[in-house]
Amino acid sequence: MSLSGRTIALLIAPRGTEEVEFVEPMNALKKAGARVQVIGLQSGQAQTNVHDLDPGGEYAVDMNFSEADPACFDGLVIPGGSVGADKLRASRDAIAFVKAIFDAGKPIGAICHAPWLLIEAGIANGHSLTSFPSIKTDIKNAGGRWVDQEVVIDGQCITSRSPDDLPAFCAALLDAFADAPSR
């Protein structure tokens, strides 16, 4: 499957995004031919975390949210990590970006704690989602239906529970981005 000509936004939070949930989708998207643009809370470099607590690698941030135009993207991937997802959901610019991608009908992938951003953007209500089990109640309280499966696809939302689910999550992302109308 080719994602040639597709541009996908990949979010990162400094000292917070779970490294494997950032790197594996990025590599899968690039291998399929997509152009991946890393969007963060600040420009420059952002360090990921490993298991939420240990330092991970540093990655270039292509643009911050004030520079990112949702119309320029064919889809969005939100990696988890409780620290990173919490930092992103506290940003009005990040929430507005996620909401704009959703309102445009583009696919959004969210893994682990990343569905917190779907909740903050008002997207969870009425959708079946999965996540890391500790935010199951948050999804339910936001009007979503929590499902314990490795990947859940509900309309344009693709969600997974944890790094263990990355193979299924990445495969579902590639399918969704290939099938979505291009911008």
Active site residues: 113
Distance CA 144, CA 6 (A): 29
Q: How many Cβ atoms are within 10 Å of 124's Cβ, its own excluded? A: 27
The H-or-E segment that residue 29 falls in is: helix 19-31
Q: How many Cβ atoms are within 10 Å of 154's Cβ, its own excluded? A: 15
Supply 177's token pair. Answer: 């981005």
Q: How many Cβ atoms are within 10 Å of 55's Cβ, its own excluded? A: 11
Strand partners, 59: 46
